[in-house]
Amino acid sequence: QGMIPNRFPEGMGDDEPDYNTVDATLWFFAALYRYLRYSGDFDLAREVWDSLKEVISWHRKGTRYGIRVTDDGLLRAGEDGVQLTWMDAKVGDWVVTPRQGKPVEINALWYNALRTMAWIGGRLGEDADAADYHALADGVARQFEDLFWNEDGGCLYDVVDDDGRADSSVRPNQILALSLPFPLFLPGNDRARRIFKTVDDQLFTPAGLRSLSSRDPAYRPHYGGPPLNRDGAYHQGTVWSWLLGPFITALVRLHGTDGRRRGRTILEGFESHLMQAGLGSISEIFDGDRPHSPRGCVAQAWSVGELLRAYCEDVLGHHPSGDVAGRPVE
């Protein structure tokens, strides 16, 4: 049904994969785009083209867990009691961060999936399909800014529910609208600068980005104690180091050489941490308040992977030349 599994629960008495995620499939498009930019392996692109088209088709008409494109061209997801985004903490019947509706990062990823399809289609000679995907992406770009822009906060709403109610919680998910291969706001756009400043002022720490602004009444500064306490803080202020990857990408896009210098300084700050928890690796999470003690897994793949990517691509500048900027909102 056009989805990539969230996990394969091997050894748990059930061989059926779990599909309870909305973002894994969309991240696949971002990964494929980068792979093709680096490798030029369009034989693979041709091999998977029909499957990619089927994925987009399923998302447009609707697939599991209420994932579907609505009349405005944006993607909504979710059912009661089901957590589909990466902020998926749940304790019993308590959904800690309910994000049913249209999450901001999911729609940034959806936009990127459509631009990626248009880009691949153009290189495979599938010009009619490419034009269709560009048209869909253009519509998403127009609706995205109208729906998610929070003028009072100088940032993007985190999620807009099915009744049109917007969640003004300041969370890091909005940074993906600036950092993905096809950004929704150009670096010179005033709203791009305001989004980044809000994230920088309220969420940035030397260990990563807070999952919720420290100014929010629901902010939980420490991760520890029994499962109820830990899961209650997991995405309510706990710092996630993987988010520094998109943060540094946006930083360099907006601030050029000065951003690159700051990005290097941020990443060099992890040198001492390599001897702190999991030797030679980077922890999953950190406390929201100083001294930002490491918590969770002592070695987390996406923490390591995103910081390495940001260092190689953004600080050192080792990326394919002529990256496509898409057609972001002016």
52 with 189, same domain: the answer is: no
Query: Using an 8 Å Cβ cutoff, are 139 and 118 in contact?
Result: no
Instruction: Please tell me the predicted confidence (pLDDT) of residue 326.
Output: 38
Look at residues 146, 168, 190 and tell me which one is the last residue of a structural domain.
Answer: 168
Q: Looking at the structure, do residues 272 and 201 belong to the same domain, yes or no? A: yes
Within this chain, do residues 146 and 84 fall inside the same structural domain, yes or no? yes
Kindly give the interhelix angle for 104-123 and 127-148, rounded to the nearest 10 degrees: 160
Residue 207 and residue 153 share a domain = no
Looking at the structure, tell me whether residues 162 and 176 fall in a common domain: no
Which spans in the chain are helix H? 23-39, 42-61, 104-123, 127-148, 176-179, 190-202, 227-234, 244-268, 301-309
Same domain, 176 and 164: no
Do 181 and 151 lie in a common domain?
no
Q: How many CA atoms lie within 13 A of 224 on its CB side?
A: 10
CA distance 74 to 67: 11
CATH number at residue 74: 1.50.10.10
Residues 318, 119: Cα–Cα separation, whole Å: 21
Last residue of a domain, one of 149, 168, 187: 168
CA 207 to chain centre: 18
Are residues 180 and 134 located together in one domain of the fold?
no
The pLDDT tens digits along the chain (330 residues) read: 999 998 888 766 667 888 989 999 999 999 999 999 999 999 999 999 999 999 999 999 999 999 999 999 999 999 988 889 999 888 888 889 989 999 999 999 999 999 999 999 999 999 999 999 999 999 999 999 999 999 999 999 999 999 999 999 999 999 999 999 999 999 889 999 999 999 999 999 999 999 999 999 999 999 999 989 999 999 999 999 999 999 999 999 999 999 999 999 999 999 999 999 999 999 999 999 999 999 999 999 999 999 999 999 999 999 875 554 433 333
One domain, residues 280 and 304? yes
Give pLDDT, residue 12.
Answer: 65
Of the candidates 211, 218, 214, the residue with the CA atom closest to the CA atom of residue 202: 214
What is the domain range of residue 109?
1-168
Are 182 and 163 members of one domain?
no
Whether 201 and 85 share a structural domain: no
Tell me: do 19 and 158 sit in the same domain: yes
The residue out of 106, 138, 168 marking a domain boundary is 168
Total domain count, the chain: 2
pTM: 0.95
